[in-house]
């Protein structure tokens, strides 16, 4: 934890949500992002996992609250309550399992139904390091993302490819959206509607 | 054609577990000689002594009217029937409070019905009555021998677990807001509404001189009291304003923790000015070095207990909420309040998790989830910094919210510690017992945080609520067969029970060839088979299949509404909101010892189409032997009648009037129509398959009788069609009665034997045996005896509601020679009303006996709440959450005939209370000894305790005593009944070579069905032409 930005104070707090089919690697992406760890064994998430990490984008300290939801069908009514107030939602599929890609549109519909209109969405294809078993071509996903009008990134929690980028990119987009609106604050400082260059998200 | 039929039969395994030994395998009957057999039967039929008058419909009616009815109840009198009130299962009312003692290994629950139930190992259950009807919310085990209960009117009740009697009844002077006890201390601390803390002396039943006043202003309240987990004499007292550490020795506050949020910080809601949110709770870290306090705004603040330094102020979703931030952009989403908290430990008490009930994102105003922050091992106190501790509490190793129930609200949870009762009852819990506002329970596994619904974990009474039982039924299963069926489950379940305490009172075993088996269906899709009289046997197991798991991702409405079990073939059907599942008992070739017993691999995807059977072999639960789900038929709707016959035919009746008949061979739907087509439209409320004569036929057939809500009785004949498959044909309708038919029983009118469609009767079809029919139809207001649809022999109407109906077989000695009795079976009708059981003769329906029930029977959803078994056992649903077993062929046994079970074990000792750590010593803490504490609390003039419990309690907590591990635990054998251990001896014998007997059962039945099927097919072949012509005549009703 010491390597991370200390979570003393912050300029913004953002609630992010990870959704997608069981086994696509939502928990792995979160673990890689927050703790820089990777666990190859598959452990089904029970309930909803929660983690916090503070990052810096455009010179602002942004505290990310990330929720990792399990896909347990019978608790859907409870888990969809967590979509409320989410500012960013990451729809994850597995590039090595086309069925999880086929479900992306269902997840997109669920998100649109339960999340606020302002929520910024993002499509992430996980496990992109596994070229041998790839079932979903990049082009196909690009096309879908274009059609749904959401940004798209391929990432790998295992090889730590683009993981930070997913979260930084999303935070930047949210910051830009929010920046347009004038929000009342205690000390009267508004968040700059930032067109400044984003801090490199590479790792 | 016949070959095809025979192959189809052969492909499907049938097994019987009962009576296999009494039937020889008809191996001589193979398809080559069945022609010859058939011819022989034909000759036989011709020779049947059918009265010559029976030639036409009218003459038949007349003939029957004039023929003297055989009195099947001859020689039965009121003396033949007496009630045994054998057992109660489940609890009356809703559970209000829960308490657990890991040393004695006893669990107590209090109910809204004014009872406290204390449970131990599998059948140990003692009920303590409360003197007032007020709900008991708090239950605490103290010093092993006392159970302290506090009711909603602030009365403190002290029970002895030794004598199982109420020892003291004390009314507190003011409303009790908070309570603290310690399993090793005599003192019950009470935080009163008046803002003072007093102590109740549990050992002397009086208020102690000890008092803490002036910790809060007059309107403040004591919200929480906690003994230091390691230091005797140090208390954590939370008032609505602040949290204090109080020393009993010096009678002063050692440390105060006041939470103030500066302007601009996000904590405490509104960000203007300094805020002091109201305290709601406070806990010690199990090491006693840190504390956590909770506030109205759902923030939790961690403190260093000694220095008073604030380490971390956070909410469930944010950290450092006491520090000013530049801005806040995350929309505030409403949360539910945190209503209960517990700081649980691992085996190492330094490895901890904070478990909180509530605090989730609100979706309907109620609490539905647990939040668990797992912190892992605490940093070493002496070398860590406040900053590191702040990060430790800011970033738990894992932080999750666990939804528990979508519709019911969660009101309480109780950790079930494995190791010791110390650390505030949170030392390495195996499970949390979770209570819902609707009275249902859940068991959360503390290792996986998954819900554990296995019935074997908790006492049977509580598993009725784990989750709610949605239907009950009962059946008879031949004793050895039942022992065989549960043997594998018994091995798997032996060590699974959480409760190990108590010693059951031995009760005499009722020796029957058949065991009464209770079947319960549950809201989560679990179906469980129990020995209905398990109270009288040493060891038993539950046969359980969770269809909710099996059908995960396929069926959404899995609450079980109806079950029907076919004893002879060990098959069963289960109706749920989404459809019907078929199960059969068998050996699971896919069993893997590596996977958890009963677990289902839900990753295996299944495809389900409406109107087609879904094969469930992919989803077999991981059991060696058990009730394996074979097929699922998806058909949403309210199932109001279900019958799984002993010959593999299943009928499903819907509220809409739709009737579906399924041939389990295949399986295939052979009939799917609304019976409104044939008569009055209405819900199908009863179905029975029989093999007997229909009207003026000169042969017996497979008949399906269907009763409806408007009171219609429909008859269908089940016949093989030209492809060799069965088909159902409507053959008649008896006049409407006006009240809903809930039970149909068919008998052989001459012998009184059951005419139900069983394998043994199926086989006699080919032999041309004609079974004279008698149909007993019970509706909610009347009972009728019919000889066929057209002839009513007798009828009785009742002013009160008839809840259940069945027949019993009574063996009467007709020899008049007690030395040399010859028993003859006689039959009687048994009706269950709300408060009594009526026994009537057959067929006249004259009163034989009326037996008053010592309890009321639930009148909701009649019929399916009452099952009358031929052995005289009657299973009745008393309420939504409780069931009773009585026998009408008893000896007058009541619930008080046998002494209650033993609860308290004098040989168990409390492990020593954890002691303080070096750090506390170094910082100058002065813990009290037990004697010093007792003097400080009880004063110098504390009187001597004289009752036995004082001595027993002191022995148990004596600091030097050695804690006896559970494995070596022994009971002092007191007050136990001698009994014949026939059941368990038989069990041991039978467990050997089980598989052999089960397997041979399968083979035998399989052969028998093949043979009977081949024979039927043969006849079908011969009958084909006749069927086409519609001139249809044979002993089968088919050729």
Q: Which residues make Cβ contacts (< 8 Å) with residue B755, sequence separation at least 6?
A: B690, B691, B692, B746, B747, B748, B761, B771, B773, B774
Assign A128 a pLDDT band (cuts: 50, 70, 90).
very high
Residue B365 resides in a domain:
no
Residue B694 resides in a domain:
no
Angle, vertex CA B604, rays to CA B600 and CA B609, nearest 5 = 105
Assign B69 a pLDDT band (cuts: 50, 70, 90).
confident
ipTM score for this prediction: 0.84
Domain containing residue B823 = 70-90+798-897
Contact B857, B880 (CB under 8 A): no
Query: Residue B363's closest chain A neighbor by CA?
Result: A81
For A76, the enclosing helix (H) or strand (E) is helix A76-79
For an interface test with A, the pick among B315, B320, B326, B375 (most A C-beta atoms closer than 10 Å) comes out as B326
The structure tokens 């004793």 sit at B479
Counts for chain A of helices (H) and strands (E), in that order: 6, 6
Residue B437 has pLDDT above 80, yes or no: yes
State how far the Cα of A52 lies from the Cα of A63, in Å rounded to an integer.
7
For B405, list phi and psi in degrees, rounded to 5: -155, 140
3-class SS string, B134-150: CCEEEEEEECCCEEEEE
Q: What is the rounded end-to-end Cα distance, in angstroms, of chain B?
A: 15
Assign B44 to helix, strand or coil: helix
Residue B384 has pLDDT above 80, yes or no: yes
Chain length of chain A: 203
Structure tokens given for B76: 């039965």
Residue B553 has pLDDT above 70, yes or no: yes
Residue B38 has pLDDT above 70, yes or no: no
Of all residues in chain B, the percent with pLDDT exceeding 90 is 48
Q: Across the interface, do A81 and B363 touch by the CB < 8 Å criterion?
A: yes
> Of A122-136, B199-213, B410-424, B486-500, which range is least confident?
B486-500
Other Cβ atoms within 10 Å of B593 Cβ, number: 7
Interface residue A74 vs chain B (CB under 8 A): yes
Of all residues in chain B, the percent with pLDDT exceeding 70 is 82
State how far the Cα of B348 lies from the Cα of B427, in Å rounded to an integer.
9
Is the CA virtual torsion B72, B75, B79, B85 positive or negative? negative
CATH fold of A12-177, please?
A: Rossmann fold (3.40.50)
Q: Across the interface, do B330 and A85 touch by the CB < 8 Å criterion?
A: yes
> Of A57-61, B214-218, B247-251, B635-639, which range is least confident?
B214-218
Residue B873 resides in a domain:
yes
Residue B890 resides in a domain:
yes
Burial class from Cβ neighbours inside 10 Å (0-12, 13-18, 19+) for residue A23 reads middle
Q: Which of B503-517, B633-647, B854-868 has the highest mean pLDDT?
A: B633-647
The model carries a pTM of 0.84
For B175, list phi and psi in degrees, rounded to 5: -60, 135
Other Cβ atoms within 10 Å of B892 Cβ, number: 9
Assign A61 to helix, strand or coil: strand
Nearest Cα neighbor of B661 from B740, B606, B714, B616 is B714
Assign B765 to helix, strand or coil: helix
State how far the Cα of B323 lies from the Cα of B466, in Å rounded to an integer.
45
Q: Is the model more confident about B776 or about B996?
A: B776
| The dihedral formed by the CA atoms of B689, B695, B698 and B699, expressed in degrees to the nearest 10 | 0
Give the domain ranges of chain A: 12-177
Assign B227 to helix, strand or coil: strand
Q: Which residues of A touch B270 (CB under 8 A)?
A: none
The confidence score (pLDDT) of residue B3 equals: 37
Residues B792-811 have a mean pLDDT of 90
Q: Where are the beta strands (DSSP E) in B378-509?
A: 398-403, 410-417, 429-436, 441-445, 469-478
Residue B956 has pLDDT above 90, yes or no: no
Query: How many domains does chain B fold into?
Result: 1
Assign B736 a pLDDT band (cuts: 50, 70, 90).
low
Q: Across the interface, do B361 and A84 touch by the CB < 8 Å criterion?
A: yes
Distance from CA of B321 to the nearest CA of A (A): 9
Q: Rounded to an integer, what is the distance from CA B58 to the centroid of its chain? A: 53
State how far the Cα of B490 lies from the Cα of A79, in Å rounded to an integer.
38
Contact B124, B901 (CB under 8 A): yes
Assign B255 a pLDDT band (cuts: 50, 70, 90).
very high
Q: Across the interface, do A50 and B403 touch by the CB < 8 Å criterion?
A: no
Q: Across the interface, do A185 and B327 touch by the CB < 8 Å criterion?
A: yes
Q: Which residues of B touch A79 (CB under 8 A)?
A: 403
State how far the Cα of B1003 lies from the Cα of B1001, in Å rounded to an integer.
5
Q: Across the interface, do B317 and A65 touch by the CB < 8 Å criterion?
A: yes
Query: Residue B451's closest chain A neighbor by CA?
Result: A46
State how far the Cα of B964 lies from the Cα of B105, in Å rounded to an integer.
12
Interface residue A129 vs chain B (CB under 8 A): no
> Of B417-426, B659-668, B964-973, which range is least confident?
B964-973
Query: Residue B372's closest chain A neighbor by CA?
Result: A49
Nearest Cα neighbor of B299 from B224, B220, B219, B356 is B356
For an interface test with A, the pick among B273, B330, B555 (most A C-beta atoms closer than 10 Å) comes out as B330
- Chain segment B95-152, per-residue pLDDT in tens: 999 999 999 999 999 999 899 999 998 788 999 999 988 999 999 999 989 999 999 9
Other Cβ atoms within 10 Å of B166 Cβ, number: 17
Contact B465, B408 (CB under 8 A): no
DSSP3 helix / strand / coil % (chain A, rounded to 5):
35, 25, 45
Q: Which residues of A touch B264 (CB under 8 A)?
A: 186-187
Query: Residue B401's closest chain A neighbor by CA?
Result: A48
State how far the Cα of A135 lies from the Cα of A133, in Å rounded to an integer.
6
Q: Which residues of A touch B361 (CB under 8 A)?
A: 81-82, 84-85
Distances, alpha carbon B494 to alpha carbons B377, B457, B490, B542, in Å: 33, 10, 6, 11
Contact B327, A60 (CB under 8 A): no
Pairing of strands A12-20, A60-69: parallel
Interface residue B330 vs chain A (CB under 8 A): yes
The structure tokens 């860590």 sit at B384
Upstream peptide bond of B667 is cis (omega within 30 degrees of 0): yes
Contact A168, A57 (CB under 8 A): yes
Per the rule left: phi > 0, alpha: psi between -120 and 50, beta: everything else, B489 is: alpha
Contact B245, B255 (CB under 8 A): yes
| The dihedral formed by the CA atoms of A139, A143, A146 and A150, expressed in degrees to the nearest 10 | -70
Q: Which residues of A touch B330 (CB under 8 A)?
A: 12-15, 65, 85, 87
State how far the Cα of B103 lies from the Cα of B966, in Å rounded to an integer.
8
Residue B807 resides in a domain:
yes
Residues B658-681 have a mean pLDDT of 92
Interface residue A3 vs chain B (CB under 8 A): no
Q: Across the interface, do A79 and B317 touch by the CB < 8 Å criterion?
A: no
Q: Across the interface, do A46 and B400 touch by the CB < 8 Å criterion?
A: yes
Residue B998 has pLDDT above 60, yes or no: no
For an interface test with B, the pick among A48, A56, A191 (most B C-beta atoms closer than 10 Å) comes out as A48
Q: Is the model more confident about B975 or about B695?
A: B695
- Chain segment A171-181, per-residue pLDDT in tens: 999 988 876 54
State how far the Cα of B315 lies from the Cα of B300, in Å rounded to an integer.
6
Assign B749 a pLDDT band (cuts: 50, 70, 90).
very high
Residues A138-160 have a mean pLDDT of 95
Q: Which residues make Cβ contacts (< 8 Å) with residue B615, sequence separation at least 6?
A: B630, B631
Interface residue A72 vs chain B (CB under 8 A): yes
Residues A113-119 have a mean pLDDT of 90
Residue A189 has pLDDT above 90, yes or no: no
Q: Which residues of B touch A51 (CB under 8 A)?
A: 395, 399
Interface residue B552 vs chain A (CB under 8 A): yes
The confidence score (pLDDT) of residue B806 equals: 93
């Amino acid at each position: 934890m010491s390597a991370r930005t200390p979570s003393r104070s912050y300029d913004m707090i953002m609630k992010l949500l990870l959704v997608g089919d069981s086994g696509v690697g939502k928990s792995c992406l979160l673990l890689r992002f927050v703790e820089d760890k990777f666990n190859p064994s598959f452990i089904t998430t029970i309930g909803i996992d929660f983690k916090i990490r503070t990052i810096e984008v455009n010179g602002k300290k942004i505290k990310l609250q990330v929720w990792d939801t399990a896909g347990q069908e019978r608790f859907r009514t409870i888990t969809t309550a967590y979509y409320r107030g989410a500012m960013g939602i990451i729809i994850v599929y597995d590039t090595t399992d086309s069925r999880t890609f086929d479900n992306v549109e269902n997840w997109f519909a669920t998100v649109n139904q339960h999340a606020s209109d302002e929520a910024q969405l993002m499509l992430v294809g996980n496990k992109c390091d596994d070229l041998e078993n790839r079932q979903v071509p990049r082009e196909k996903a690009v096309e879908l993302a274009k059609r749904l009008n959401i940004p798209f990134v391929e990432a790998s929690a295992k090889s730590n490819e683009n993981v930070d980028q997913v979260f930084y990119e999303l935070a930047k987009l949210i910051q830009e959206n929010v920046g347009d609106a004038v929000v009342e604050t205690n000390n009267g400082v508004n968040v700059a509607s930032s067109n400044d260059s984003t801090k490199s998200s590479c790792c | 054609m016949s070959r095809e039929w025979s192959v189809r039969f052969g492909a499907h395994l049938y097994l019987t577990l009962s009576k296999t030994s009494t039937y020889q395998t008809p191996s001589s009957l193979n398809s080559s000689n069945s022609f010859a057999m058939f011819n022989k039967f034909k000759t036989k039929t011709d020779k049947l002594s059918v009265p010559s008058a029976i030639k036409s419909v009218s003459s038949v009616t007349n003939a029957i009217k004039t023929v003297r009815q055989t009195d099947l109840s001859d020689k039965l009198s009121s003396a033949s029937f007496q009630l045994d009130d054998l057992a109660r299962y489940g609890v009356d009312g809703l559970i209000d409070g829960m308490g657990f003692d890991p040393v004695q290994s006893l669990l107590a629950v209090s109910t809204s019905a004014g009872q406290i139930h204390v449970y131990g190992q599998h059948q140990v259950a003692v009920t303590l009555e409360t003197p007032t009807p007020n709900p008991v919310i708090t239950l605490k085990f103290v010093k092993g021998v006392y159970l302290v209960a506090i009711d909603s009117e602030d009365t403190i009740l002290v029970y002895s677990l030794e004598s199982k009697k109420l020892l003291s009844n004390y009314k507190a002077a003011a409303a009790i807001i908070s309570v603290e006890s310690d399993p090793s201390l005599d003192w019950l601390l009470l935080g009163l509404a008046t803002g003072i803390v007093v102590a109740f002396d549990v050992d002397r039943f009086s208020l102690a001189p000890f008092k803490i006043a002036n910790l809060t202003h007059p309107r403040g309240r004591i919200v929480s009291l906690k003994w230091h987990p390691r230091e005797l004499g140090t208390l954590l007292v939370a008032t609505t304003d602040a949290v204090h550490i109080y020393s009993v020795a010096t009678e002063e506050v050692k440390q105060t923790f006041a939470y103030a949020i500066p302007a601009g910080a996000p904590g405490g809601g509104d960000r203007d000015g300094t805020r002091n949110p109201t305290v709601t709770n406070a806990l010690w870290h199990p090491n006693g070095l840190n504390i956590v306090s909770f506030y109205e705004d759902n923030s939790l603040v961690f403190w260093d207990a000694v220095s008073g330094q604030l380490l971390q102020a956070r909410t469930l979703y944010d950290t450092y909420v006491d520090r000013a931030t530049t801005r806040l952009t995350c929309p505030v989403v409403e949360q539910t309040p945190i209503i209960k908290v517990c700081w649980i430990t691992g085996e190492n008490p330094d490895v901890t998790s904070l478990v909180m009930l509530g605090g989730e994102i609100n979706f309907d105003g109620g609490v539905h989830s647990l939040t668990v922050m797992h912190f892992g091992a605490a940093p070493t106190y002496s070398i860590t910094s406040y900053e590191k501790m702040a990060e430790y509490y800011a970033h738990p190793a894992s932080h999750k919210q666990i939804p528990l129930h979508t519709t019911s609200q969660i009101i309480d949870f109780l950790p079930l510690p494995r190791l010791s009762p110390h650390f505030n009852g949170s030392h390495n819990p195996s499970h949390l017992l979770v209570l819902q506002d609707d009275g249902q329970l859940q068991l959360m596994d503390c290792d996986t945080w998954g819900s554990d619904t296995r019935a074997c974990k908790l006492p049977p009474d509580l598993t009725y609520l784990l989750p709610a039982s949605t239907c009950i039924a009962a059946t008879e299963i031949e004793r050895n067969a039942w022992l065989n069926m549960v043997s594998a489950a018994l091995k798997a379940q032996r060590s699974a029970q959480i409760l190990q305490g108590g010693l059951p009172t031995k009760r005499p075993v009722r020796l029957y060839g058949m065991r009464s088996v209770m079947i319960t269906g549950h809201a989560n899709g679990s179906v469980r088979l129990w020995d209905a009289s398990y109270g009288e046997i040493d060891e038993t197991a539950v046969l359980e299949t969770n269809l909710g798991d099996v059908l995960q991702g396929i069926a959404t409405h899995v609450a079980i509404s109806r079950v029907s079990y076919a004893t002879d073939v060990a098959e069963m059907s289960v109706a749920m909101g989404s459809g019907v599942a078929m199960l059969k008992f068998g050996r699971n070739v896919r069993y893997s010892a590596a996977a958890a017993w009963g677990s289902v691999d839900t990753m295996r995807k299944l495809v389900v189409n409406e109107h087609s059977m879904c094969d469930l072999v992919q989803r077999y639960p991981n059991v060696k032997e058990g009730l394996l789900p074979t097929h699922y038929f998806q058909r949403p709707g309210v199932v109001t009648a279900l019958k799984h016959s002993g010959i593999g035919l299943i009928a499903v009746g819907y509220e809409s009037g739709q009737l579906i008949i399924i041939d389990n061979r295949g399986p295939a739907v052979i009939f799917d129509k609304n019976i409104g087509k044939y008569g009055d439209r209405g819900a199908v409320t009863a179905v029975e398959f029989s093999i007997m004569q229909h009207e003026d036929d000169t042969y017996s057939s497979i008949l399906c009788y269907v009763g409806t809500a408007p009171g219609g009785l429909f008859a269908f004949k089940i016949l093989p069609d030209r492809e060799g498959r069965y088909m159902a044909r409507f053959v008649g309708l008896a006049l409407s009665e006006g009240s809903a038919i809930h039970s149909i029983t068919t008998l052989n009118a001459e012998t009184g034997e059951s005419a139900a469609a069983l394998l043994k009767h199926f086989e006699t079809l080919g032999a041309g045996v004609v079974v004279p029919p008698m149909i007993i139809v019970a509706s909610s207001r009347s009972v009728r005896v019919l000889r066929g649809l057209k002839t009513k022999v007798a009828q009785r109407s009742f002013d009160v509601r008839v809840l259940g109906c069945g027949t019993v077989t009574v063996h009467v000695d007709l020899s008049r020679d007690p030395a040399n009795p010859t028993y003859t079976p006689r039959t009687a009708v048994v009706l269950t009303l709300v408060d009594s059981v009526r026994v009537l003769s057959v067929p006249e329906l004259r009163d034989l006996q009326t037996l008053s029930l010592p309890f009321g029977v639930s009148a909701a959803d009649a019929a399916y709440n009452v099952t009358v078994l031929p052995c005289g056992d009657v299973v009745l649903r008393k309420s939504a959450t409780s069931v009773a077993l009585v026998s009408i062929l008893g000896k007058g046994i009541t619930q008080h005939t046998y002494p209650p079970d033993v609860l308290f074990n004098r040989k168990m000792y409390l492990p020593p209370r954890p002691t303080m750590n070096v750090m506390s010593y170094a910082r100058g803490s002065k813990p009290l000894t037990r004697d010093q504490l007792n003097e400080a609390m009880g004063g110098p003039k504390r009187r001597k305790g004289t009752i036995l419990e004082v001595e027993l309690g002191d022995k148990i907590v004596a600091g030097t005593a050695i804690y006896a591990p559970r494995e070596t635990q022994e009971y002092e054998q007191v007050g136990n009944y001698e009994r014949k251990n026939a059941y368990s001896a038989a069990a041991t014998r039978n467990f050997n070579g089980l598989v052999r007997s089960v397997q041979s059962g399968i083979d035998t039945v399989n052969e028998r069905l093949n043979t009977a099927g081949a024979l039927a097919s043969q006849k079908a072949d011969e009958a084909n032409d006749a069927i086409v012509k519609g001139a249809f005549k044979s002993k089968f009703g088919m050729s």
